[in-house]
Amino acid sequence: MAHPTTARSIQIGLAGLGNVGAGVYKNLDTNRNLILQRTGADLRVKRVAVRSLTRPRDVEVPADQLTTDWRELVADPEIEVIVELIGGIDEAAELVCAALRAGKRVVSGNKALLAERGQELFALAEECGMPIYFEAAVAGGIPIIQVLQEGLVGNHIVSIHGIINGTCNYILSRMSQAGLGYAEALQEAQEKGYAEADPTLDVSGWDAAHKAIILASLSYGFWIPADRVSVEGVQKVDREDIEFARRLGYTIKLMSVIRADEQGRVEVRTQPSMIPLNHVLAGVSGSFNAVLVHGDVVGETLFYGRGAGQDPTSSSVISDLCEAAAAVIHGPRPNGFVPHGLYGSPKPIEETVSRYYLRVTVEDRPGVVAQVATILGARQIGISSIIQPEDWDTEKEVTSLVLMLHDAQLGEVRAALAELQELDCVRAEPVMLRVEIL
Ligand code: HSE
């Protein structure tokens, strides 16, 4: 292998030494020579900002590199790139803004920060002439940001369907394949280091929703406000629905869907959805992520890999560090991609269309199916199949009525559900899941 004649040393300030930060520190050291050979850059972590100097860690960092104040990293004239891995929003935004203003390139894996404050941060980045790199913010080790910015730059994006939260995918996989309860599966995911520091971000669907906002911004050129995306988490997924899904030929995944309609309005939604068992996405299990991107020129493309965890996510951070180093050494490499041209607009979620699965807990007596069908029919919602299992609950004298619905607008389905709940024969809040046809 050819060696560069002169190595250029790049000094890095690493803010945050949690799971991913420790992975960056460790893997930069392990693959230092490879990176040097490939890029001509000798990537050196000069200072590391941590919350506590005494907390036990996955990696050993010399005491003189550690500080509890990230401002020291920003103030250090030798540091050319700052890696933001502190998480959260307000302090992380302060850090990124300070670094950009100090003329430092920024690498961040913070999807919540970019989704909530991206518009302002990228505007500042442009003003300062300093880029923000964010490959690690979406889908862990899968280089999906580069795919959208470079590989598919010549495509209109027709749609993206993503399984982009490793924690939720792990939970649903374990519930479905090992029969685990929700709490047990979540605990396993946390122990394996997939979950965010605050796992409610994962299980509420918001971690995936933040990633979807970032993917939508790259695909459709605008930052969709967080209050215009639809988000449901996995907390309410019931084993009964996982079982019905299987009987019907589907599995349940936390799906993020980003799609433009014919008027160019963009839906950005994340929820547990049923997908056909024979689709390749149904086989994406555990902490793995997959992103199915449909471009108008390329057709369908699928990107698969570990979406969470120390090593996969640090691989993406290191890729960004190499890009930043290349920009320092060779000057910025314009790739012709303007991420946020502000040409998209959000689609009201009530107008989004899909198929649906409904489970209605009803009294098992004559005329009940007719009442339910009448409410749906009055709103022009078609039923494609009905199951009422014979294994009914003799104590409560109720049964599950499971309906698969044809394409309908969410607003109509929600209105029908509200009417169903008013029926005397309906004994519990109906369960509704989207059915994605991929
Ligand atoms: N908590 C995230 C997940 C990590 O489970 O996917 C990567 O963003």
Query: Could you tell me the CATH number of the domain that includes residue 119?
Result: 3.40.50.720
Check residue 341 and give its pLDDT: 60
* Residue 344, domain member (yes or no): no
CA-based nearest residue to 295, from 161, 155, 162:
155
User: Which ligand 1 atom is the nearest neighbour of the CA of 208?
Assistant: 6
How far apart, in whole angstroms, are the C-alpha atoms of residue 320 and residue 150? 14
135 and 148 assigned to the same domain = no
Q: What is the mean pLDDT of the chain?
A: 94
Which pLDDT band holds residue 5 (cuts at 50, 70, 90)?
low
> What whole-number distance in Å separates Cα of residue 307 and Cα of residue 109?
12
Give the residue numbers annotated as catalytic, written as ranges.
211
In terms of Cα–Cα distance, which of 19, 39, 32 is closest to 322? 39
Domain shared by 161 and 294, yes or no: yes
pLDDT at 342 over 70: no
Interval between CA 320 and ligand 1 midpoint (Å)? 18
Which atom of ligand 1 is closest in space to residue 202's alpha carbon? 1
Question: In the predicted model, what is the mean pLDDT of residues 159-163?
Answer: 98
Same domain, 85 and 204: no
Q: What percentage of the chain has pLDDT greater than the value 90?
A: 87
User: Is residue 336 predicted with pLDDT exceeding 70?
Assistant: no
pLDDT at position 323 over 90: yes
CA distances from 426 to 371, 372, 414, 429 (A): 10, 9, 15, 8
pLDDT tens-place string over residues 205-231 = 999 999 999 999 999 999 999 999 999
Is 209 part of any domain? yes
CA of 166 to the centre of ligand 1 (A): 5
Residue 53 exposure: Cα atoms within 13 Å on the Cβ side: 10
Question: Is the model's pLDDT at 386 over the cut of 50?
Answer: yes
Determine the atom of ligand 1 nearest the C-alpha atom of 137.
8
Check whether residue 129 and residue 202 sit in a common domain.
no
Q: How far apart are CA 227 and CA 233, in angstroms?
A: 16
My answer on whether 183 and 252 are in the same domain is yes
Q: Is residue 338 part of a domain?
A: no
For residues 107 and 24, state if they share a domain.
yes
* Look-up of token digits 């420790």: 22
Distance 426 CA to ligand 1 centre (A): 38
Encode pLDDT of 24-48 as tens digits.
999 999 999 999 999 999 999 999 9
Q: Read off the pLDDT band of 1 (50, 70, 90).
A: very low
Total domain count, the chain: 3
| Confidence band for 338, pLDDT divided at 50, 70 and 90 | low
Query: How does residue 390 score in pLDDT terms, banded at 50, 70 and 90?
Result: confident
Q: Compute the distance from residue 255 Cα to the ligand 1 centre, in Å.
A: 14
**Is pLDDT of 368 > 70?**
yes
**pLDDT score of 58:** 83
Higher confidence at residue 279 or residue 264?
Answer: 279
How many residues make up the chain in this entry? Answer: 438
114 in a structural domain: yes
Q: Does position 186 have pLDDT exceeding 70, yes or no?
A: yes
Task: Give CA 139 to chain center in angstroms.
Answer: 6
State which residues form the domain around 263: 144-307
Residue from 108, 110, 145, 167 whose mutation best tests the ligand 1 pocket (most atoms within 8 A of CB): 167
